[in-house]
Structure 1
Amino acid sequence: MGGHELLHLGEKVLAAQPFSRLVGARLVQFQPGEAVLEIPVRQELLQQNGFVHGGVLSYAADNALTFAGGTVLGPNVLTSEYKINYLRPAVGEKLIGRATVVHAGKRQAVCRCDVFVAKGSAEEVLCATAQGTIVMTSPESETAGATRPG
């Protein structure tokens, strides 16, 4: 699959996620071993001090990690775990989550993501960093789990 086809597939997956649509996320790079996600900063995504809410930074890291892992494991993946460090308040016009695969096995990938904030054409500022484990799932197990009685 070529780079353009892979990006188109990633955009379709992102568009199928209601929460991603809510925050306005865009997949701007999606190639083997890496993914870049952007989120325009708007008033609804801020906390009481005017900084981008930590949950939005966390979403950017989590989803970028999962997309990066998906480039090497395939489309049926989920985040198994991740850790995030908030480094400084995010103030700007756009969040950028840049994720790469650190190591991939047959069923899981360890990925790293840095989350930056940018203001206009000014330099990007690192505001969070994360690392996580992305695991393969099977479509059958997801469907079975969703319909299994409680």
Structure 2
Amino acid sequence: MNEERRVQLLESFGRSKMMELFGAKVGSIDQGYIEISVDKQEFMARPAGMFNGSTIAALVDVASGYAAASAKPVDSYFTTVELKVNYLNPAMGEQLLAKGQVIKNGKVITVVRVDVYSIKDNKESLAATSLVTMMMLSTKHSRKK
């Protein structure tokens, strides 16, 4: 991925109101891959202390969109077609880390796998895995028409 594309994606991420609310940070981004982390906030936790499933699902959705967009060489816009999350373990910890990887980069349909880890005492524990189908609606070029 070239630096111009990386900057476009990071600037777009910076404009996301949801990710701002979550206090999310991009840790790594490359072609077809992204890592996003969030520190636990009170609204993200269940009474028992683990991250709420809705927080995990939202993180999966955003990570999928950015992983899909990062696989394209031009500015592109995606929407979610299908999102399936398997919650494997309670997400106990101080932080979540989503790792999104494109596994099929088609002309219109892109499939992304996102694994979400809870981090406690600097140790990653797999909390959820997901498979997300994204559809490219347009590119920046086609939106100008």
How many angstroms does 1:71 deviate by? 1.2
How many angstroms does 1:138 deviate by? 2.6
When the two structures are superposed, what TM-score results if normalisation uses the length of structure 2?
Answer: 0.87
How many angstroms does 1:59 deviate by? 1.0
More helix by share: 1
How many angstroms does 1:76 deviate by? 1.1
| Mean CA deviation greater in 103-112 or 9-18 | 9-18
1:75 and 2:76 are equivalent in the alignment: yes
Query: Partner letter of residue 109 of structure 2?
Result: Q
Match in the other structure for 1:49: 48
More strand by share: 2
Report SS of the residue matched to 2:49.
coil
CA contact (8 A) 2:80 2:135 kept: yes
Match in the other structure for 1:97: 98
How many angstroms does 1:9 deviate by? 2.2
CA contact (8 A) 1:10 1:27 kept: no
Match in the other structure for 1:33: 32
Aligned-pair Cα RMSD in Å? 2.0
When the two structures are superposed, what TM-score results if normalisation uses the length of structure 1?
Answer: 0.84
Q: Structure 1 residues 8, 114: closer, same or farther in 2, change over 3 A? A: same
Report SS of the residue matched to 1:124.
strand
Query: Partner letter of residue 71 of structure 1?
Result: S
Match in the other structure for 1:8: 7
How many angstroms does 1:42 deviate by? 2.0
CA contact (8 A) 1:66 1:78 kept: yes
Match in the other structure for 1:110: 111
How many angstroms does 1:13 deviate by? 1.1
Structure 1 ranges of 4+ moved more than 4 A? 139-142
| Mean CA deviation greater in 5-14 or 30-39 | 5-14
Q: Deviations over 1:89-120 (max 9, x none)?
A: 11111100001011111111111010001123
Query: Partner letter of residue 23 of structure 1?
Result: F
Q: Structure 1 residues 139, 109: closer, same or farther in 2, change over 3 A? A: closer
Q: Name the CA distance, whole Å, in 1 between partners of 2:28 and 2:18.
A: 19
Aligned residues: 140
How many angstroms does 1:139 deviate by? 6.8
Instruction: Give the fraction of aligned pairs with identical amino acids, expressed as a percent.
Output: 27
